Amino acid sequence: MGSGDAFCSGGRFQTCIALAPEASAPPHVLIDCGATSLVALRQQQIDPNEIDTVLITHLHGDHFAGLPFLVLDGQFRRRTHDLTVVGPPGTGARLAEAMETMFPGSSTIQRRFTVRVRKHTDRRASELGPLHITPFEVRHASGAPAYAIRVETTTGSVAYSGDTEWTEALLQAADGADLFLCEGYSPAPTRWHLDLDTLHHHRDRFTCEQMLLTHLSPTALASDLTGWHIAHDGLHADL
């Protein structure tokens, strides 16, 4: 849904990945929900009310600030089924603060559905419906731990780096995955983010089937991307 950085460089929406665990059904799971995610979902004709699970990598606005809009949209459009958010420790408080900042009173109002918030525990796998979810703590300052997230179903597996400096945890998160979505923020090393030089250095160590770069800054978008696969908004992948 969204392959951009925090500033929508290149006209790309902020991070949002929609998963359809059952090929016959529309997507109902998101990995990250940046502030622009509602418009991104609607452009792809996905009803936000159909989303029942949101997995959050870390608590920066370009990865979680779409949640208040997702919740309020459900409230105004008479959503009735519950929403589960799985994120870093502190996600519930940060979501309530974000809602109160943008729409005072919105975090405590009575709704027809419940927003359940669960927290990641580093490398502890959990089951959620058809999803087998494993978070791997990475290196990115956001006021709470940040995670790469690996999601497996009976038919496929996908991993996403989130935002992070280089860490060996990425190799484990992506190990054998059908698709690894990886931050490719800058051409050269930048604090708290992944760069193409470092990724190139480690590239042969990844055992994923395919790596797709996302979350590119303006300098990365303008650099020589020959040999890399680059995500774009609206990209569809069958796993």
Per CB under 5 A, the list member of 163, 165, 195, 233 interacting with Zn ion is 163
Token digits for 32? Answer: 């990250």
Q: Taking contact as CB under 5 A, which single stretch among the options 47-55, 103-111, 112-120, 157-165 is the one that binds Zn ion?
A: 157-165
Q: Taking contact as CB under 5 A, which single stretch among the options 23-31, 42-50, 113-121, 155-163 is the one that binds Zn ion?
A: 155-163
Three-state secondary-structure class, residue 199: helix
- Residue 216's Cβ-count burial label (10 Å; 0-12, 13-18, 19+) is buried
For residues 239 and 221, what is the distance between their CA atoms, to the nearest angstrom?
Answer: 26
Q: Taking contact as CB under 5 A, which single stretch among the options 81-89, 128-136, 159-167, 228-236 is the one that binds Zn ion?
A: 159-167
From the centroid of its chain, how far is CA 132?
A: 16
- Which string of x and - marks every residue 47-66 that binds Zn ion (by CB under 5 A)? -------------x-x----
Beta bridge partners of 116: 84
Cβ at position 5, least distance to Zn ion in Å: 6
Q: Which is nearer to Zn ion, 79 or 120 (CB)?
A: 120
Three-state secondary-structure class, residue 77: coil
Asked if residue 56 lies in contact with residue 86, where contact means CB atoms within 8 angstroms, the answer is: yes
Cβ at position 98, least distance to Zn ion in Å: 15
Residue ranges binding Zn ion (CB under 5 A): 6, 60, 62, 163
